[in-house]
Amino acid sequence: MRIDIFTIFPELIEQFLGHSLMARARSAGIADLRSHDIREFATDVHRSVDDSPFGGGAGMVMRPEPIFAAVEAHQPPRPLYLLSPGGRAFDQSMAEELADSEGFSLLCGRYEGVDDRVREHCCDGEISLGDFVLNGGEVAALAICEAVVRLLPNVMGNSASATEESFTSGLLEYPQFTRPAEFRGWTVPEVLRSGDHAKVAAWRLAQAEERTRSLRPDLWNSYQRSGDVGTGAE
């Protein structure tokens, strides 16, 4: 898979991609992760990529010329998504969709956003990380990149990890415990130490359902509508 990220801060992208699972995926040739500096395609001595908005208003807007030039020069994998509050809300199902593709690209806006001709004529779609404001698209791009790359085959050490996590089944993940079995008087549930895999599975399902019901009623309602409610026992 190839993922291209267009940004005016490629050093932020490269720093993140050089660690943990992202670095492993890169070095193993599983994911071809590239960052491109939009400023390299600015034509003035100051490498300007923004200008004041037509019609007035606060802040600056990213100009179309360097963005179009960067995209046309690098011919990134399509679709190219603009990180934007008006885009499709990113979630686990979208991460799975992207992980099944051959690649995609992300454009990180800054300032008050990008010239709308970029959105309309250069990009293929938009993605939103959530209903909150960031200074730019870099954090969102990295979150999307990690959520997708970790789903690729052989990136994670245990292939079951990606199928037993929050949101994968429509539920939050069940509680996890490790050694010691007792810590400051708090003990690990006996069922997890029983060695009975069927009972462990039932307990985990029941805990995941209860945790989702109490903490994320929105997810719980969707899960109920799906008809997948289990029969786990406490």
| CATH code at position 206 | 1.10.1270.20
More confident residue, 31 or 228: 31
| CATH code at position 112 | 3.40.1280.10
In a domain, 157, yes or no: no
Total domain count, the chain: 2
In a domain, 233, yes or no: no
| Cβ neighbour number for residue 197 with a 10 Å cutoff | 8
- Using one digit for the tens of pLDDT, what is the confidence trace for 162-203? 556 667 778 999 999 999 999 999 999 999 999 999 999 999
Which range of residues forms the domain containing residue 127?
2-149
AA letter at 25:
A
Residues 144, 169 within the same domain: no
pTM for this structure?
A: 0.87
Region of 184 (left: φ > 0; alpha: ψ -120 to 50; beta: rest) is left
Residues 135, 19 within the same domain: yes
- Using one digit for the tens of pLDDT, what is the confidence trace for 62-117? 999 999 999 999 999 999 999 999 999 999 999 999 999 999 999 999 999 999 99
| Cβ neighbour number for residue 190 with a 10 Å cutoff | 10
Residues 118, 221 within the same domain: no
List of residues 6+ apart from 26 with CB closer than 8 A: 17, 32, 33
